């Protein structure tokens, strides 16, 4: 399938560098844990961690509502096993995209039960018009239209994650 570029690799690099600076300022001298939402956020988490200048731990959670060739969300599945101790730590929950908001809202609610000091969210992309929950990410890099996007970690049927840019699949 052809892919139309929506956000270039250079634009993503600038935005992630800026995000790293903001996170570093906001979490100076705080016990930060970066939690990446698998699998889509993996590229963002790796790039962001290299730009955050304050010491931080890493954890990964698995959450999915899109499976296979689906382009609209289905039932949400969360897997929080293997997380580091989050008690009294500041959590930055990093995801690739805020679409309906259901995934991020459910994750934040589950993480609150682990008694962190604070929880903030960071997303690369935000589809504001698709929100189904009252949730605003604490950090986001780009507002995007209601189109199915791939690249920079986002996939369609587990493909296209490798693209260095954000693109729209064209039929």
- Concatenate the DSSP letters of all residues of 38-97 into one string: ETTTHHHHHHHHHH--S-EEEEEEEEES--TT-SS--S-EEE-TTPPP-TT-EEEEEEEE
Cα(60)–Cα(109) distance, integer angstroms: 16
Q: How wide is the angle at C-alpha 107 spanned by C-alphas 24 and 125, nearest 5°?
A: 60
Residue 171: Cβ-neighbour burial (10 angstroms; 0-12, 13-18, 19+):
exposed
Tell me whether residue 99 is one of the annotated catalytic residues: yes
Distance between CA atoms of residues 92 and 120, nearest Å: 5
| Catalytic, out of 99, 134, 138, 146 | 99
Residue with tokens 């001298």: 29
Q: Catalytic site residues?
A: 99
């Amino acid at each position: 399938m052809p892919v139309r570029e929506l956000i270039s690799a250079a634009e993503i690099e600038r935005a992630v560098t800026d995000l790293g600076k903001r996170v570093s300022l906001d979490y100076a001298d705080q016990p930060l844990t970066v939690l990446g939402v698998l699998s889509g956020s993996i590229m963002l988490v790796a790039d962001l961690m290299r730009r955050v200048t304050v010491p931080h731990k890493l954890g990964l959670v698995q959450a999915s509502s899109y499976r296979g060739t689906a382009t609209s969300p289905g039932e949400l599945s969360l897997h929080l096993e293997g997380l580091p101790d989050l008690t009294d730590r500041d959590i930055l929950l990093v995801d690739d995209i805020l679409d309906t908001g259901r995934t991020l809202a459910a994750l934040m609610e589950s993480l609150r039960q682990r008694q962190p000091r604070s929880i903030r969210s960071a997303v690369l992309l935000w589809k504001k018009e698709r929100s189904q929950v009252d949730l605003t990410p604490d950090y986001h890099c780009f507002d995007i239209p209601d189109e199915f996007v791939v690249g920079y970690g986002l996939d369609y049927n587990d493909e296209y994650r490798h693209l260095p840019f954000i693109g729209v699949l064209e039929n």
